[in-house]
Amino acid sequence: MAGNRQIRALNVAEKPSVAKAVSGILSRNQARVREGRSRYNKIFEFDYTIRGQPIHMLFTSVTGHLMELEFDDRYRKWHSCDPSELYQAPVRKTVPQDKLDIKRTLQQEARSCQWLILWLDCDREGENIAYEVIEVCTEANRNMNTWRARFSALIDRDIHEAVQNLDRPNQSFSEAVDARQEIDLRIGASFTRFQTMLLKDAFHFDFATEDRNLILSYGPCQFPTLGFIVERYWEIQAHEPEEFWTINCSHNSEEGTANFSWMRGHMFDYTCAVTIYEMCVEEPTATVTMVRQQEKLKYPPYPLSTIELEKRASRYFRLSSEHTMKVAEELYQSGFISYPRTETDSFSARTDLRAIAQEQQAHPVWGPYAQRLMDPEADLWRNPGNGGHDDKAHPPIHPTKFSAGESGWSQDHHKVYELVVRHFLACVSQPAVSAETTVEIDIAGELFSACGRVILAKNYLDVYRFDTWGGSFIPTYMLGQQFAPTTLTLDSGVTRPPPLLSEADLLSCMDKAGIGTDATMHDHIKKLLDRFYATKDANTRFSPTNLGESLVMGYDDMGYELWKPYLRSKMEDDMKAVSLGTKRKADILASCLQEMKACFLDARLNKVKLFEAMGIFFDRTNRTGAEEQQTIGGVVRRCGLCQQADMVLRRRQDGKFMVGCLGYPQCRKVVWLPGSISEAAVTSNTCNVCSPGPVFLIQFKFRRLEIPPNYSVDHLGCIGGCDDTLRQLTEICGTGPRNPPGTSASVRGQAPTTTSGRQAPTTTSGRQAPTTTSGRNPASNVQRGVCSHCRQTGHSSNGCPSQVSTSGRARSRATNHTNGGSSVPCNSCGEPCELRTANTANNRGRQFYSCQSQECRFFVWEDTINDGGVGQNASHTNARGSNATSGRRGGRGRGRRGGGGGGRGNDTTFVSATGEPVSGRRCFSCGDPSHFANACPNRGM
C-alpha cells in the first residue's frame, strides 16, 4: 500500500448512523460534512493514514440492501402468468426507485476515487450488500481497488484495527445469500399467489377488515415456524388426561422434615399401586440404604449469541424477539454493545476480556461485583466456556462502553443493556458451588429418595440475578439407620399436556431445526403475527389462529409436510455449504427449485384439501376466487385483449372447460368451449394459421352421447379461430347448462323462457311472470296502438301501408290471435313463423322468426324487421349440400350434420351463434329437440 501520492477512498457503511460513528472515530470528530443526493445519507470527508499511505477518505452509507431481487416485468403482476412458471421465470437485481438517489451519490463519488472500502456488517447479509455496492460503483469506475473492513463494535479499538487490516470481500458468502433470496422469492411468490387467489374470495375471514387487501402469504421459513406452533397446539388438543398413582413418604425429626419420593415415579394401574402400598403399610419400617454427599457445580452461561439474547430477553422481561433486536441494534449503533447479530458463543483468545469487565466497575449496581472480579485475591475470575459455535464474523455480544443509563433510553434499553452486561460478567465468573446430600431408604422392598442442597459459594449467581439455584435442607441420616415414616400415603394425579410454545421455546425449535438465521428468526415470528396465522398471549405463548391451523391442516391432509422443518433445514444446509465454497450456487438452486416445483404442482392438484380444511373454520362466500377455476393445463396463448397476461386452460366449478386470461378480474377475456368436453389438455403443438402466436393446440375428448354421431370423440383443436369443428360443436352443444330444471335464467340479462324456449311475459309491475307451458308470448308484448313495422300510430302492422307484398307473401310481422303470440309469414311457404329466443353464446336472449318447415328454413331476426331487414331462406346460405358458400362467417356455411332428414314437421329449430338456423338438431342423448344433450335431464340415467 505504500506510496507518496494521496489516494481517494470511497468508504460505504450499511447505515447512516454507522457512517457517522466510524467517521467520528477515524477523524477524531474533525470530519467535514456535506450533502449527497439522498438527504439521509451524508458524506463525511477527512484525511487518514493506512499503513503509511495517505488517504483522503470520503465516507457515506446505504440503508440496508441497495438492490431488490424481482421478477422481470412480464411476471410481476399476480395474474400475469401461471404461478408454476415462477420457478423458472427470469429474475434480476435492480435498485428500487426510493434508493436511486443513494445510487447516484455512490456513482458520483466513485468516479473520482481509486479505492472502495466497504464497512458493511460482517455476516452473509452484509457481504451480499457489499457486492451490491461494488456492482453500482464499478458501473461508474471499473478500476477501483475494493477492500473490506471487518469490525464487530463501534469503538475506537475495533475501528482502528479494522482499517489497518483491510481484507477482500467474500464472494461465497454473497452467493449463499443470493441463493436464499432466489429460493425464497420463487417459492414464496408461487405459493402465496396460489393460496391467495384460491381462497381469499371463497371464504368469509372474520379477522379481515378489507378482503381485497388480504394476502395469504407463504414463506419457506415462515411456514415451518407456524408448523411448530400448530403441532404443539395439536398435541395439547389430542391429550387425554390419564390418572396415575404414587406413594409419598415424609419423616419429621428434631433437625427438620425430609420428603421422600417413590423411585418408581408413578403407576397407571391402580390395582398394582394399591397392592404395593398395602405391602408398605404392613411393613412400614424404613431403612437407610444409601447416603451420598458430593460437591455440585452450577456453571455460568456461555457467551451471549443472538438466539440466546432473544430467548433470555423473552424469558426474563417478556420482550418479543423482534423488539429485542430493534433495541439491541440501537444500542450497537450508539456504541454501547457489540454487533447483536452473531452465532458465535465463544470469545477469541485475542479478546481483552479483563478490559471489558474493568469498564463496569463504576456502575452503582453491579460495579462492586466487577471490582471483586478484578481482585486477584477473590479468585472469582474464570475464562469463559466455549459454546462450540463460531460464525467467523463477529464475537459474542458484549458491552463495549460503560453507561449508568442514558437520558434517551427507554426501560427496554436499560433492560437489554443490563442483560448484556450481567451476562458478560457472569460468563467470566466462577461457577456456583453447593454441597448435595442424597438419601435412599427401603420400605418393604420399595425404594424412596430425598435430596438436600446447601449453597457453599454463589459466585456468578451474585451478579446474574436471572438464574436461581434453590437449596433445601435435609436432616442427617446414617447408613443402616431405621425409622418409622411420619406419613405414608397413596396419592393420585393426572397427566397434563405440554404447555403452548413460548417465544423462547419457539426460537429453540427454529434454532435446532435450522430454520432461518440469527438475523432473521425474529422476522419470521413477526410475520406469523402480522398475517393472522398465530397469536401471542401475555405470557408470550403462541396459539395458531383458525387461518393458520387450516392452512397447515390442508397441506397435511395432502400428505405433504410443507409445515415440517425438514425441507427448509436442508436448504439452509445447502446455503451454508455455498458460503463455505463446498457447493455451487447453481447446483443447489436447480435441485431445490425442481423439488419445490413438483411439490407445488401436486399441491395445486390436491387443492380440494385446502378447501375442506378452510371449510371447517370459515363460512363459504358466493364469490369465486380466480384460482378456484382450476388451471388444468399450461399456457394456451398470450391474451390478445390485455396484452399482459397469458390465457390458460381452466375447468369451472360445474366441470365445464374454458380458456381464460390470468389477468382476471382486471381482464375478462375468455374463450368458452363446448359443454360436451370430458377431458382437455394443452399440448406442445402449435397452430400454423392463427396469429399472433404461438397458439398451443388442445387435445379434447368429448362425451359420445352429447355430440352428433359423425363427430369424433377425440379432437386436437385450436381456440385461435381457425377450427371449424370446435366452433360447430360449440354451437351444437353450447358451453354448458344455462337453466337447470326448476330454476330461472342463470345468465345475467336473460329473461326466463317457456318450456318451448320462448320468452316469458312481463307483468305490469316489471317482474317476469312465472314460466308457463303454453309456449306462446301474449300480444301484450307488442306495444298497443303502435305499428311494429313503421312505428306510427293509427294502424297495426298487418295493415301498414308502407309494407310491400312479394309474390303474394307479406314480410310484415302479424299478431297471431289464435295463440296470443307474434308471428310473420314465411317468404317461401307462407306458413306463420313463430317468435323464438336464441340460446347461443353470442346471441343469447335475442328473438327471431323461423319457419318450422324443414324444407323452407326461413329465418329473420326480430329486431331487424323494423330496420328494413328481410327474411332469408337459410337453405340458400347455409346448406352444406348446396353450392352456396356465402355464409355469415367468411363463407364457412353451417347446417345439418348427419342429423336427420325430413319428416321433423314442427320440431323445435335451434340457431347458431350468429343466428343462422340450425335445423334438424336435437338432443343426441334422448332425441328431444327442445334442449341440447349437455342439458339433457335424462343424462346419466
pLDDT digits (tens, 9 = 90+) for 509-536: 998 888 887 778 898 999 999 889 999 9
Q: Which residues carry out catalysis?
A: 339
Asked whether the predicted pLDDT for residue 903 surpasses 70, the reply is no
Give me 713's grid cell. 370423440
pLDDT band at 634 (very low <50, low <70, confident <90, very high): confident
Say if 728 falls within a structural domain.
yes
Q: pLDDT by residue (tens digit) across 908-933? A: 344 433 344 444 445 555 666 555 55
Classified as helix, coil or strand, 333 is helix
Asked whether the predicted pLDDT for residue 88 surpasses 70, the reply is yes
Give the pLDDT of residue 859.
67
Select from 385, 401, 430 the last residue of a domain: 430
Select from 555, 588, 617 the last residue of a domain: 617
293 and 188 part of one domain:
no
Q: Which amino acid, one-letter code, is at 709?
A: P
482-483 and 487-494: which strand pairing? unpaired
Classified as helix, coil or strand, 342 is coil
Asked whether the predicted pLDDT for residue 290 surpasses 90, the reply is yes
Stretch (H or E) spanning 519: none
Q: How many CB atoms lie within 10 A of CB 564?
A: 18
Q: pLDDT by residue (tens digit) across 643-671? A: 777 888 888 767 788 888 877 767 778 88
Q: Which amino acid, one-letter code, is at 348?
A: S
Residue 633 or residue 455, greater confidence: 455
pLDDT band at 316 (very low <50, low <70, confident <90, very high): very high
Residue 122 or residue 848, greater confidence: 122
Peptide bond into 241 cis (omega under 30): no
**Half-sphere exposure at residue 596, Cβ-oriented, CA atoms within 13 angstroms:** 31
| CATH number of the domain residue 547 falls in | 1.10.460.10
Q: pLDDT by residue (tens digit) across 401-428? A: 999 888 889 999 999 999 999 999 999 9
Q: Kindly state the DSSP code that residue 337 receives in the 8-state scheme.
A: B
Give the pLDDT of residue 899.
36
Say if 2 falls within a structural domain.
no
Number of residues that this document lists for the chain: 941
Q: Scan for cell 359443454, then name that residue.
A: 675
482-483 and 286-298: which strand pairing? antiparallel
pLDDT band at 166 (very low <50, low <70, confident <90, very high): very high
Asked whether the predicted pLDDT for residue 185 surpasses 90, the reply is yes
Give the pLDDT of residue 836.
75
Stretch (H or E) spanning 542: strand 542-544
Residue 852 or residue 289, greater confidence: 289
Domain count, the chain: 6
425 and 439 part of one domain:
no
What average pLDDT does range 201-212 have in this prediction?
A: 69
Q: Which amino acid, one-letter code, is at 252?
A: N
Strand locations in 3-52, DSSP E?
A: 7-13, 32-34, 43-50
Which are the contacts of 82, defined by CB distance < 8 A and separation ≥ 6? 631, 634, 635, 646, 648, 662
Q: How many CB atoms lie within 10 A of CB 609?
A: 17
Give the pLDDT of residue 349.
82
> Do the Cβ atoms of 482 and 283 come closer than 8 Å?
no
14 and 152 part of one domain:
yes
879 and 816 part of one domain:
yes
Q: How many CB atoms lie within 10 A of CB 219?
A: 21
Give the pLDDT of residue 857.
54
Alpha carbons 803 and 341: distance in angstroms, whole number:
93
253 and 389 part of one domain:
no
Buried-exposed string 875-907: b where 16+ CB fall within 10 A, e elsewhere: bebbbeeeeeeebbeeeebbbbbebbeeebeeb
Q: Find, among 803, 801, 797, the residue nearest to 816 by Cα.
A: 797
User: Range with the lowest mean pLDDT among 70-84, 752-766, 812-826?
Assistant: 752-766
Say if 923 falls within a structural domain.
no
Residue 515 or residue 262, greater confidence: 262
Give me 793's grid cell. 300510430
Residue 764 or residue 144, greater confidence: 144
Q: pLDDT by residue (tens digit) across 457-512? A: 999 999 999 998 887 888 999 999 999 999 999 999 999 999 999 999 999 999 88
Give the pLDDT of residue 78.
84
pLDDT band at 259 (very low <50, low <70, confident <90, very high): very high
Instruction: Give the bridge partners for 852, in sequence order.
Output: none
Say if 784 falls within a structural domain.
no
> Do the Cβ atoms of 929 and 911 come closer than 8 Å?
no
Which domain range does residue 118 map to?
Answer: 7-169
User: Range with the lowest mean pLDDT among 212-226, 418-432, 710-724, 786-800?
Assistant: 786-800
Say if 744 falls within a structural domain.
yes
Residue 495 or residue 621, greater confidence: 495
Give the rounded distance of the alpha carbon of 615 from its chain centre: 19
pLDDT band at 732 (very low <50, low <70, confident <90, very high): confident
Peptide bond into 694 cis (omega under 30): yes
528 and 570 part of one domain:
yes
> Do the Cβ atoms of 332 and 340 come closer than 8 Å?
yes
418 and 317 part of one domain:
yes
Asked whether the predicted pLDDT for residue 934 surpasses 70, the reply is no
Asked whether the predicted pLDDT for residue 831 surpasses 80, the reply is no
339 and 415 part of one domain:
yes
> Which bin fits 915, alpha (ψ -120 to 50), beta or left (φ > 0)?
left
Q: Kindly state the DSSP code that residue 51 receives in the 8-state scheme.
A: T
Asked whether the predicted pLDDT for residue 630 surpasses 80, the reply is no
Q: Find, among 822, 763, 813, 764, the residue nearest to 790 by Cα.
A: 813
CA 591-595-599 angle, 5° bins: 165
What average pLDDT does range 68-95 have in this prediction?
A: 90
Say if 770 falls within a structural domain.
no
Residue 745 or residue 648, greater confidence: 648
16 and 150 part of one domain:
yes
- Mean pLDDT of all residues in the chain? 80
| CATH number of the domain residue 377 falls in | 1.10.290.10
Residue 444 or residue 348, greater confidence: 444
Stretch (H or E) spanning 94: strand 91-94
Classified as helix, coil or strand, 862 is helix
Which are the contacts of 584, defined by CB distance < 8 A and separation ≥ 6? 578
310 and 386 part of one domain:
yes
| CATH number of the domain residue 270 falls in | 2.70.20.10
Numbers of helices and strands, H then E, in the chain:
22, 34
Give me 489's grid cell. 400415603
Asked whether the predicted pLDDT for residue 388 surpasses 70, the reply is yes
Select from 617, 640, 656 the last residue of a domain: 617
pLDDT band at 852 (very low <50, low <70, confident <90, very high): low
Give the pLDDT of residue 878.
34
Give the pLDDT of residue 822.
61
Asked whether the predicted pLDDT for residue 584 surpasses 90, the reply is yes
| CATH number of the domain residue 17 falls in | 3.40.50.140
Say if 932 falls within a structural domain.
no
49 and 110 part of one domain:
yes
Alpha carbons 224 and 417: distance in angstroms, whole number:
32
Q: How many CB atoms lie within 10 A of CB 778?
A: 16
pLDDT over 70, % of the chain = 77
pLDDT band at 781 (very low <50, low <70, confident <90, very high): very low
What average pLDDT does range 760-780 have in this prediction?
A: 35
Q: pLDDT by residue (tens digit) across 324-342? A: 999 999 999 888 999 898 9
Stretch (H or E) spanning 39: none
872-873 and 203-204: which strand pairing? unpaired
Phi, psi of 199 (to 5 degrees): -110, -25
Stretch (H or E) spanning 832: strand 832-837
Say if 934 falls within a structural domain.
no
Buried-exposed string 681-709: b where 16+ CB fall within 10 A, e elsewhere: ebeeeebeebeeebbbbbebebbebbbbe
Give the pLDDT of residue 2.
46
531 and 570 part of one domain:
yes
